[in-house]
Amino acid sequence: MQFTTTTILPLLLTLTSASPTPHHETACVPKRSYPVSHPSGGSPYNINPVNRPQFGSFITPEIGFVIPEGTPATGPCSLIAAFPKNYEVVDTSVGNGGQPLLLNFFALDGPASGSLVGTTRLPTFLPSQKTKEDVEIVINSFACRPYQAFRIELGETGEVGFLTGEEGGLFLEYGC
């Protein structure tokens, strides 16, 4: 039996018209919450943890994040440190030729209140102590709540400093 164009063409048209149409889902675009002052006070914009026992100096900044009213505080919320290229992150260890200092993040509220919930080292390089490229570090993810607060402590002796806001620094990502 020989197939001809008149036999094959209707068969192909039937197969192509019966094929499923591709399903395109819209990707979720996460939202960002920037730090607000914690009830203990302090600036949410100048993050400057200090651990200098030789001088009796210990500074442990506390920051909080608010999920806007009317936004479901469900799903994961991720604590993120993000810095664009050439963002200044001052680190005394790096300034002295060492590796970046360890930052510890402790929950101040919620089910893990008082617990260590994340650690990271921020990318900073000599001579200018600025990031060499865009960097985003997920410190940890949590169940979202309308308000979440953290204390930042240095895990080593020294000092770290950076500004935080819409340009860079710490934020809480939510909404996906």
Tens of pLDDT, residue by residue over 70-79, are: 776 567 899 9
Band of pLDDT at residue 103, cut at 50, 70 and 90: very high
Query: Using one digit for the tens of pLDDT, what is the confidence trace for 54-88?
Result: 888 888 988 899 987 777 656 789 999 999 999 99
What residues have CB less than 8 Å from 136, skipping those under 6 apart? 80, 81, 82, 83
Band of pLDDT at residue 124, cut at 50, 70 and 90: confident
Domains plus CATH for the chain? 31-174 (2.60.120)
Q: Mean pLDDT of all residues in the chain?
A: 81
What is the token pair recorded at 73?
A: 């505080």
Quote the pTM value. Answer: 0.78
* Predicted local confidence at residue 26, as pLDDT: 64
